[in-house]
Structures are given as C-alpha cells and as structure tokens.
Structure 1
C-alpha cells in the first residue's frame, strides 16, 4: 500500500507559509504520495515549493478527526518508489553506489594483506548476524584468533561489539605501523568479571606489531564507574597489563538530550535576526556547540598523535561503541589518512565507519532539532546500560557534529580536501530526508535482510558519482596532500558554519560569487598552463628545425 491511498483530501486553497525573515507564500497546497507542493500561481511572480514529507517533524491532528491512519511504516517512504532517471547497467558509466561499497570489508582486507603479509583473516562468523546485530556480516580479525574465541569475546562486550580494526596507520618511519580499534564496553560489572577470550583477542593485536596500546574511553571515570555498577564497566588493569586506559569526558555529547538542546539553542540564535551583537554572542556561547566541536577534535587529535607520534595501538570505546566512538575513529582517519579526504575515500569512510558499523541513522535522524519529544530523559546513548541500544529511541545530531568537525578541518586546510563544504551540507540534508535509501535503517541487518534496500531503493552514491553532479562539489583549490593534517584546537580557531546555520538568515550570494570567481581563476590558470605546454612544444620543434637547417 502506498501513502497516497491514505489521503482523503489532496488539495487545500488559501494556505499561507511563513518563512521566518523571508517573504511569506500564499497559495494552494497539494498533497501527493510523497511530497507537499505549495504553489502561489500568481501572474506576476509565480512560486512553487516542494517539500518531502519525510522532512516534516510534527503534525497537529484535529481532535474532531475520527479516522487516523498509521503512516509510520518504513517501506511506504519515498525512497522505495523513487528511481534515478538513468538506468544502471554495465553499458553506462554510472556506478551503482550499493555495489561499489557492498564488499568494503573484503576490499579493506585485501589492502591489509598487501601491507601486512598474512596477519589477518576475513571471517563470516557474523554471516547471519548472530554474533552482533549491529556489525557487518564480514569481520576482519587477527589470523591466530578462531571463531570460537570471537563468540566468547562477544558475550563479554556490550551488544556483542567485539574489538575490531578500524584503521591501520603507517608504517611510520620504517616501522610496522599501528592499529586503531573500536569496540563497546566490557561487561565486567562490580565483581570485576574477566574474559580470557577477550584478553586474548585484544593482546593478539599487540602481537602483530610488538607494540603497547592505549584504551581511550570516551566516558569520564565517574560515568564509567557508574556503568560498572550496572553490569558494564571498563578494562581491568591487571587483566590487560599491556594496555594503558585513558578517560576522555565526552559525556555531554553522549547524552542525546544535551546535544539536541545545544543544536536547538544554536538554530534559534541563528534564526533570530533582530537580537543585538552582545545577545547573539551570548546565545552562541550558551549553546556550547563550538565547545563540543573542540572537545571531539581534541580527543581525535590525541588518538591520531598516539598512532602517529607515540607509535602505539589505540582502542576507542564508550558504552555501546556508537556515537562518540564512531566520531573519534572517523575524525582520526581524516586527520591521518589522505585517502579519506577525497570524494570516494570520504564515501567509503561513511560507509565503513557509520553505515556498516551500525550507527542507528533511522533512530538518530527520525526528527530534527525542532521536534519536541514527549518523554525527555537524561539516559545516555553511549552511557546507559540497557540490554540493547535500540530501546533508547532518542534523536541526536551526532552525524551533523561529525560533518561540522570536517568543516572545521576544511576551513583550516582548504587545499587538502577534494570536495567542498557544499558536499557536506548535501550529506547532512540527505541523512535526514532523501529520495535515496543510503541512510535508511539502523544497521546492515535491517538494510540487507529486513528492508532489502540494495534491490528496492537507489543509493545516494549512485547519484553523487555521476560526472556532471560530482563536478559541482569538487574543491577547485584541491592539491593532494599525502601527509597528516594537524588542526589547531585553540578556541579562536573554531568558527560557526555560516554556510549551513546562517543560510536562511544571511545572503549567501557573496560566498557563491567568490567561489565562482575562484573557479574561473582556476580554469583560466589551467588554460594558461596548457598554452605554456603548447608553446614550449612549438619552441622545441622550431629549435629542431633551426638546427637541421643550420647543418
């Protein structure tokens, strides 16, 4: 059944849309199967606005309405009916985004084999998602660890999220390289229960390069201790003697209520164009959004420095191994790995670290910051001890925080990213509401088994990787930088992402015009370079002719 079958009234006249500081629109509202279309139909200035229904946060239902229909089913959403106008087959140059990254673990495994000889193996112990519902069906593990050890270790980790490789860095200065790992909290509890299988698994990573390791716990010691009293906890030092545990307090970011309130305060300040300068600065400071960017990038830099300069392996985890864990491991890779700063590399990073690593996009992005939840509580996504994170149905702008961190890096290193910041804004918009199926679902189990997204929807990457679309989001100042980028984390270095947060309050034409000017200058530069090459070739030919005539 499609949503249009549930619509009893499809057209309403004399509807007024108020758009903040912009001019209001009055016209006819049409409701289709997946969109709301508001058309002014005026002779002098006809305007039409098309809104995807998925982007609507809240609807007030008239109490006099007796009949109410259930429209919450995922499979009646627009992505299941939308098809890209151009067919995808072997005869076209368009890539199928789903197939491009369907075997991303296998491709990364092949890369590791080339770099590290025979230290790794690819296991399908999670083929039917019995080991861990939120992990991929293929897992890369040390070769000397058998599946039975993985199964026992999964019983000791929250929701079965065992320590797995996120990224292999190096080798640096002729060494053997270092390993970045991610996991969830160990279930040691107040009795300090241990798991020899988990200890063996973690130590096997150290044996690969004969290095020690750091455990970066994204919770403060107080929060981690509280989790321990509830059955969770952290690695006990006597059982993991080769690992040094460090607590980084990202508790407020872990708390969905705190983070969504921070974004709400920021958006409300950005939309208030009548407040004074002092009040604006005060509201910006009180939102704490820039502060959260700072502490996340600070933690990521510490992890990156540990891998690159201290030459040690690093394990990152919170309680569930989601949200802040994925934030830190992803940003660490962007800092260290130049491949992630390219268009395809950044897509692969989002696929491997966010989508296929179990970040619950459907839950976190069910509503935006304007949606007021009925039952607000202070339970943490990454700090609670429920039996499964899926019961904690809280929206949270964690992915937006990640994109804003990338924007901060982009501002400090404008020539090191192949894509521009408009690309980040596009990803933000499609992660909340889209005609593509990439961000639907909470994990690979839901996407591949329950929803069968690969055969029923179109991938966002399929659209973005078309040549004429991709060119719109390329950074004209890009110059390949094969070295790590070390950002400044001084408070003065962080700036508000005006292209996103102020795009409806401040005219963005000057920024658009400046980007167009830069692009035209760059194109002129390439044209002059080609002319120089042609003139040099002509000069060389004339010299040869002159020498032949002289002889």
Structure 2
C-alpha cells in the first residue's frame, strides 16, 4: 500500500529484476497517520471517560458510552481494543523485526527502509538489534541503541511529538506530522520483556519513564528533529540529558532478575501473545489496578497492589525534608551534608518557618540537632539573620531535647567558635 502511494506521488520503488538473487518483502506496517489514528482510539478507550477530553468530540464516543454502561462491558472492552488496531500494528512491527533478525543470523544481508527512513525503519532495525545483540539488552546498551538509531539517525521527535507548539495551537498540516512512533516502539520492547523477562537489564519502569518524558520536554534529549537542530539550540549545554537521570537512579530502572546471555531472541508472533501495555495505558483507570492494600492490611486505599507508579516520576524530594537514615558511615556523612545544605539555605533566606518545619521532622531523633549544628562549617558563606557580618544567630526550639519553653541557640562565628546564649 505504501509503495503504491509512493509511486502515485512520483517517488521510487524497487524493481526486483534489478537485484539478482534477492527477494523483496513488504511488511505492511502502517504509516504515521494510521498509527496516530490507532493511538487516538486506544486513548479514548483506556482513559476514564469523565477525564478524557477526546470523549465528547470523538466519533466513537457513542461506542465508549455503551462500553461503560453495558452489563457485558468486558466483552465490549475487548471488542473496542480490537477495533483500535493497536495490537495488530505492534505485531506487524515485531514480525518484521524478527524476520530481519532471522535473515541476519543465517548470513543474509538485509536492506531495510520505509518511505523516508526515520519512522518504521528505526522501529524495525532497533528491535532486530535487540533480538540479536545482548549488549543492547543491557541498560547502558539500550541507551546507546536509542541514541544511535533514533537520535543520531534523525527520527523527527519534534514533529512526531509536537514539541514547542502551544496546546491547541496546531494547524491541521502540523497536526498531520504527529504520530506516536517512538512510544509504539517502546510498546514492542514491552512485548519482548513479557516474553523474555530475564534477558533485559532494564525493567518496564524504564519504558514508562521514557514514554512519559519523550513528551514532557523536561530533558533535552528528545528535542529537535535531528542532531543539527539539537546542536543549534545547544541542548547539550542548556538542558539535561535523560540518561543523566537514568544512570544516577539505576536501581529504579534495573531488572533484578537480569541474566545476560548471548543467544538471539526469537519471540512468538502469535496474536495470542500480543498484550496491552497496561502499565502505560491503564494506569489512570482505578478499575484496572489490583485491589487496594487496605482490603488486607488496613491501610488507606491510596496504594495499589502493583508498582505501576514506579519509575514514571522524577525524584522530586524537597531539600527541606529530612533524608532517610542511613546505617553505613558513608550514608551518614551524606545525610549530614544534606542537612547542612538545607539549614544553610534556610539561614540564607531567613526562613524561620522553614527552620521550625525542619526541626519538627527531627523531633524525637536523638543526637540529630547536635549533628546538624556540627555540620555547619565556619566557611559557609551565609547571610546573617541579625545583620552582623561575623556570626549567624539561629533561635531553635526542639521538643524532647530542651526543657519546655527553653530556647536552644546556635552561634556560628567566622573563627569557628560556637556557643549558646539568650536571645
């Protein structure tokens, strides 16, 4: 179909008579418009109707209302999922990739290309490399694969994700360039993780994290359409790479059951093995989660018996919160430094309420306050709370470590001396 369309537009197509001892295979993977339409239908089906902005304007909203109200909604759900065509597209990408991998294993050279070379080509070639090379199945190898086949080879992330365009401001022509090609590829990788749970050094949490942040623009890795554009806007200088975060939180994304092996992977291509990526598409639907923990353990029903939320959000712990206690010496030193930085910041800003809040968190923890005060080194360049240049005076009241109504004062002088006194 795509080849016929290219011919109509005056573009070329291979004449197999010019290629001796070669065969031509069309993989029938849909174009970006087909994938965009399929994703829209899937989003309408999986997002709760009362929170889905597409529900009211969608042509399929009548069907969705029937899905939510019908006593046989389970059956309608499966029918609706099939009508999106999403799993069929996933299977076609995986099938083409497996066919390429089998050719390469037997020593047959393969030339793979789609209409332009930056969408379906990237999907199929990257998956085939995952099947063949165990390096790319490691956490760091997976990062290399994405940097190589998706970023360096010019997948149009800006056009496909609509980066830089205000919400609702897309022209019809610009909207036609949007398509979830990279997220679809991550879904194919998810299918491999399901079939080969111990062969990948990363977990599903990494896939969800990447799927979220390819659209969030919190990192510069996926900005622009090519390396030239990223160099022009200086993403390496002005933004943070998503891999900086991933590799500084490896435990969050690593597969604890990983066992590297050199054998190629050949997945089942049966439609029965293609499953919906629930952790990505169904996480906003409470009915899709297992029962809440309070059913068994009596806890508030804010936590579910799954870990769908792990790895999808950044580590946004506030500097004003007390770090978790570490048992080892290195952890204790790191904790002391965090406390020191926290208090110095509060003193600089003269935030009395912040200091009191910090001390409230320290309440009942023996030895914490002396440790905190000792962590304040005399070379801290902080603004003074009383206008003096030679000392910092902080009035601190701590329940449990001082007598009721008594005020604990810490005076840190530039010369390194400290003492107590009345305020």
> Within the alignment, does 1:412 sit opposite 2:195 as a pair?
yes
How many residue pairs get matched? 272
Shift, 1:511, TM fit:
2.0
Partner Cα distance (1:257, 1:265) in 2: 13
Shift, 1:242, TM fit:
4.6
> Within the alignment, does 1:302 sit opposite 2:99 as a pair?
yes
Within 5 Å, which residues of 2 pair with 1:5-24?
none
> Within the alignment, does 1:510 sit opposite 2:275 as a pair?
no
In structure 1, the residue matched to 2:140 is 344
> Within the alignment, does 1:264 sit opposite 2:31 as a pair?
no
Partner Cα distance (1:444, 1:285) in 2: 38
Partner Cα distance (1:493, 1:238) in 2: 37
Partner Cα distance (2:135, 2:46) in 1: 34
| Structure 1 counterpart SS, 2:257 | coil
Which of the numbers 278, 286, 296 marks the counterpart of 1:498?
278
Partner Cα distance (1:487, 1:395) in 2: 30
Which of the numbers 227, 251, 254 marks the counterpart of 1:444?
227
Shift, 1:319, TM fit:
1.4
| Structure 2 counterpart SS, 1:315 | coil
Shift, 1:432, TM fit:
0.5
Shift, 1:463, TM fit:
1.5
Partner Cα distance (2:15, 2:181) in 1: 29
| Structure 2 counterpart SS, 1:246 | coil
Partner Cα distance (2:144, 2:193) in 1: 18
Which of the numbers 236, 245, 248 marks the counterpart of 1:454?
236
In structure 2, relative to structure 1, the CA distance for the partners of 1:303 and 1:272 (3 Å cut) is same
In structure 2, the residue matched to 1:291 is 88
Consecutive unaligned residues in structure 2, runs of 5 or more: 50-67, 291-303, 311-423
In structure 2, the residue matched to 1:470 is 250
Partner Cα distance (1:226, 1:279) in 2: 35
Partner Cα distance (1:464, 1:226) in 2: 41
Partner Cα distance (2:149, 2:203) in 1: 21
| Structure 2 counterpart SS, 1:332 | helix
In structure 2, relative to structure 1, the CA distance for the partners of 1:371 and 1:307 (3 Å cut) is farther
- Which structure would you say has the larger Rg? 2
Partner Cα distance (2:183, 2:33) in 1: 15
> Within the alignment, does 1:328 sit opposite 2:116 as a pair?
no
Within 5 Å, which residues of 2 pair with 1:101-250?
220=1, 223-250=2-29
In structure 1, the residue matched to 2:149 is 353
| Structure 2 counterpart SS, 1:424 | helix
TM-score (norm 2): 0.60
Partner Cα distance (2:108, 2:175) in 1: 35
In structure 1, the residue matched to 2:387 is none
Which of the numbers 378, 394, 399 marks the counterpart of 2:182?
399
Q: Which one scores higher on RCO, CA 8 angstroms, separation ≥ 6?
A: 1
In structure 2, the residue matched to 1:312 is 108
In structure 2, relative to structure 1, the CA distance for the partners of 1:261 and 1:235 (3 Å cut) is closer
Shift, 1:260, TM fit:
1.6
Shift, 1:321, TM fit:
0.7
TM-score (norm 1): 0.47
Partner Cα distance (2:170, 2:78) in 1: 28
Say if 1:419 and 1:473, in contact at 8 Å, map to a contact too: yes
Shift, 1:421, TM fit:
0.1
Partner Cα distance (2:279, 2:26) in 1: 34
Say if 1:412 and 1:487, in contact at 8 Å, map to a contact too: yes
Say if 1:363 and 1:393, in contact at 8 Å, map to a contact too: no
In structure 2, relative to structure 1, the CA distance for the partners of 1:374 and 1:494 (3 Å cut) is same
Deviations 1:74-105 (A, max 9, x none): xxxxxxxxxxxxxxxxxxxxxxxxxxxxxxxx
| Structure 2 counterpart SS, 1:463 | helix
Partner Cα distance (1:407, 1:480) in 2: 17
Partner Cα distance (2:219, 2:5) in 1: 41
| Structure 1 counterpart SS, 2:306 | helix
In structure 1, the residue matched to 2:394 is none
Say if 1:296 and 1:328, in contact at 8 Å, map to a contact too: yes
Partner Cα distance (1:497, 1:226) in 2: 31
| Structure 1 counterpart SS, 2:305 | helix
> Within the alignment, does 1:480 sit opposite 2:275 as a pair?
no
Say what the alpha-carbon RMSD is for the aligned residues: 2.5
Partner Cα distance (1:308, 1:285) in 2: 33
Of Structure 1 and Structure 2, the greater strand share is in 1
Partner Cα distance (2:172, 2:102) in 1: 41
Say if 1:333 and 1:340, in contact at 8 Å, map to a contact too: yes
| Structure 2 counterpart SS, 1:244 | coil
Shift, 1:225, TM fit:
3.7
Shift, 1:272, TM fit:
3.9
Of Structure 1 and Structure 2, the greater helix share is in 2
